[in-house]
Chain A
Amino acid sequence: MTLANDLLEQASHLAAREKGKPKQASLRRAISAAYYSVFHLVIADAARRVVDVPRLRPVVARAFEHRKLLGVANAIERIASRPKDQHWLRQHLTLPVSGDLAAFCSTFADLQDRRHDADYDVAATFTRSDAVGVVTLAQAAHGAWARERDSENALVFLLAGAGLLLDR
């Protein structure tokens, strides 16, 4: 099992535990773990595709930042839905962007937003369906990424997310 899969399994477990009235802590950690499962899925693949030397992969994985990946995910989603709009990343992508990659990118952005609420918005109250919905989407994102991971456009996402494709 990979860390990404373990986190997804943990998220699923936390979202389903405590029948009746679940603890807010369980629901929040389920949402957070669901996002991190997708984040680690991406950075592990990025390290695998970019670095030949296995011992260097964990070091390279540390270079990824949540906000930069979010920016690239938003850009690819935008290019997918509005292909005539101008964006510097467009020149690197093969159009049209597949439905799987577009769905993955938009889900990544949504999951990151939910994770921020779950981890930092202490005024918020979450329901079980909130948490189950997020975990369910994370599972779907894993599936979409598995179908798309070896494509050139996925590599563009990974390289831009690592800051290796620049706007110049």
Chain B
Amino acid sequence: MSYVLDPGVTSKLAAKPESIDKGVARVLVGVRPDHTGEDVLAVQVVLKDSIGLKKPSPRMGDRLMRIASEIRRRAAELDVPLRASVRFVVESELAASHKTA
């Protein structure tokens, strides 16, 4: 049986993405099974195109980790019992990106 997200929790997790990071356009939240079959809180962080993910950079890595940590902190405060799985995608590639949250 899948965990059902309370709409209030969803909206709080996705709220005001710019308070997470100025480069975040929006946050998409859902539930999906991970590769072990366990349900996870599937969070897709949509980054503004200006941020770009054209080539790897250590500084960007720390920034992405901070964004993910902030979302996980929010989920913990909201008592969501699922692990938050966070993925990043740039806005212009959202439709083409392999899976949506």
Provide the residues of chain B in CB contact with A12, threshold 8 Å: 55-56
How many residues of chain B are within 8 Å of chain A by beta carbon? 34
Provide the residues of chain A in CB contact with B62, threshold 8 Å: 140, 143
Provide the residues of chain A in CB contact with B50, threshold 8 Å: none
Check: B27 CB closer than 8 A to any chain A CB: no
Check: A67 CB closer than 8 A to any chain B CB: yes
Given contacts A107-B65, A109-B83, A139-B58, contact A117 B72 (CB under 8 A): no
| Least Cβ–Cβ distance between B28 and chain A, in angstroms | 15
Name the interface size band of chain A.
35 or more
* Pairwise interchain contact A82-B76, C-beta atoms closer than 8 A: yes
User: How many Cβ-Cβ contacts under 8 Å join chain A to chain B?
Assistant: 112
Given contacts A77-B83, A110-B86, contact A70 B36 (CB under 8 A): yes
* Pairwise interchain contact A81-B58, C-beta atoms closer than 8 A: no
* Pairwise interchain contact A81-B75, C-beta atoms closer than 8 A: yes
Interface of B is mostly: mixed
Check: A129 CB closer than 8 A to any chain B CB: yes
Fill in one digit per residue for B81-101: 1 if any A CB lies within 8 Å of its CB, else 0: 001111111100100111100
Given contacts A117-B99, A127-B93, contact A133 B54 (CB under 8 A): no
* Pairwise interchain contact B72-A106, C-beta atoms closer than 8 A: yes
Counting from the closest, the 9 A-B pairs by CB-CB distance are A140-B61, A116-B35, A81-B76, A129-B53, A124-B98, A133-B88, A135-B56, A132-B53, A136-B61
Which residues of A are in contact with B by a Cβ distance under 8 Å?
11-12, 15-16, 67, 70, 74, 77-78, 81-82, 99, 102-103, 106-107, 109-110, 112-114, 116-117, 120-121, 124-130, 132-133, 135-141, 143-144
